Chain A
Amino acid sequence: MMIRPDSITALARALGLTGLVGALAASFSCALAQDLGGTLKKVREAGTIVVGHRDSSIPFSYLDDRQAPVGYSVELCLRIVEAVKDTLKMPALKVQMQAVTSSNRIPLLQNGTVDLECGSTTNSIERQRQVAFGLTTFVTNVKVVVKKSSAIQSLADLNGKPVATTSGTTSVQLLRAHEKAKGIDFREIYGKDHAESFLLLENDRAAAFVMDDILIAGLVANSRNAKDYRFLDEVLRTEPYGIMIRKDDPAFKKLVDDTLASLMRSGEVARLYARWFTSPIPPRSINLEFPMSKELAEAIRSPNDRGI
């Protein structure tokens, strides 16, 4: 195809149009910031609640063999959806599942595409400037996984080695902080998502993979040679996970927290934990064998929504 590139004047005119687009973006951005009138109101008007889920955050939120979203966070969210139905007295409320990624989950929540995000999202102070979190439903330790066959024993051994991590996650920042503090020079290598980051380790493209321990456990258990991997002892950080909702929406926040607190009190959370973390799970009946940490047990005993 031969289309003559357009004249410079026309291109300069296009630059003028950018200004227009910028102005449009500015007005959209105002729309973004404006109050959505509360999630409950939005859900009642739409007759639909949209649950954001991940597609490979095992066992929190992922796709089973029929490509349906399942997992610990998904189940908790479905309990919240039931509570929404009761509160709004809308038993026929439609529930839509929407896949999100680590990089689009916040904008999609903010712009109203999803109403609550059920994945494995760290409740961080930084994020609290943009969104709100329900009670802590899980506590993770950011750790480093390597192949058993490698000689790496500690973070310091990773000096000069390629270390995989997923772009847009808090572990990237952690890794950078460590790099500075310890004078270790990692070579960061990014995957688009956890599965791709793990793939880099599996194919020896990376010597290690830095991520939340539970996510790594899920990827390892599902990999072809689950026995090939081991964790380093060092913990880079302990982080609480929470269900993410829109900011400044006290009515919905209260509904989410009340629902979760009652599930924690009744022992339902512990039961769900056992079902997803210490029993065989779909799609391949693999058991993650990931017993409850003392940090999570504590968070269930005294529910809180503290971020890190």
Chain B
Amino acid sequence: MNGLDLEVITRALPWLAQGLQYTVQLTCVAALGGIALGTILALARLSSHPVVAGVAAGYVNLMRSVPLLLVIFWFYFLVPLGLQWVTGAGSPPRVGAERSAYVTFILFEAAYFCEIVRAGIVSVGAGQQSAARALGLDRIQVLVHVILPQAFRNMLPVLLTQAIILFQDVSLVSLLNVTDFVGAAGKIAQRDGRVVEMYLFVALVYLVLCSAASALVRRWQRTHSIGRHPETAR
């Protein structure tokens, strides 16, 4: 390498920005979808029905014991066939890597979000539930108005930290040839033979974004933590 060629980066900026946009988009969709599905899974795991709780626990443990990369490839092949199976269509619908990634990450991250939400719900304490039930609220009302608002407040920092991890994990889709931020940089790096510049730039951007995000989470945690539940704000 004959010195760093920063011009390679400036020329590639529009292409890189497009990749970063996909990365952010996938992160947001997977985080929101994962939290929604994760909450359902958490409620299922806490259910008194042994089959419901067992299936939810099985799903969560399966997802958590297999490498994300393996899950990404599984879904890449399975999602189109699964959709065909569900819809009963004659041929599998066309689902590119970009779109199968959304499904993959929602389903995968849900297992991790489930455990966070479960801890959050448990942290609220059984006393509150008994008190709310005694006041005449039904189980759904207790959940929606009493338990979940407090649980989410307690676990927000952990959820956000997990979202930052997710933002980094999304980079694995580049191995499916998807042009996310890392994929975009990789393609330029290889075409122009400029690995050093491109990968250092990518690392720097992630470092700045993730450090800033974690710092914000920590600050929020300091100013908003609820004194009675310090253990939930790990």
Contact = CB atoms under 8 A, between A and B. Distances in A.
A45 B80 contact: no
Contact of A1 (B55, B57, B234): B234
B92 to A, nearest CB: 4
Interface string B173-208: 001110000000001011111010000000000000
B59 A17 contact: yes
A16 interface: yes
A223 interface: yes
A13 B80 contact: no
B91 A3 contact: no
B76 A14 contact: no
- The secondary-structure label for the interface of chain B is helix
Nearest to B158: A1
Interface size of B as a range? 35 or more
A100 B74 CA distance: 16
B149 interface: no
B94 A28 contact: no
B77 interface: yes
- Residue among A28, A55, A67 having the largest count of chain B Cβ atoms under 10 Å: A28
Interface residues of A, number: 51
Contacts of A14: 57-62, 65
B78 interface: yes
Interface stretch (B33-41, B82-90, B222-230): B82-90
Interface of B: 15, 54-55, 57-62, 64-65, 76-78, 80-82, 84-85, 90-97, 112, 115-116, 119, 158, 161-162, 165, 175-177, 187, 189-193, 195, 234
Interface of A: 1-3, 6, 10-11, 13-14, 16-18, 21, 25, 27-28, 31-32, 36-37, 41-42, 45-46, 48, 50, 55-56, 63, 67, 96, 98-101, 104, 107, 111-114, 192-193, 195-196, 198-199, 202-203, 222-224
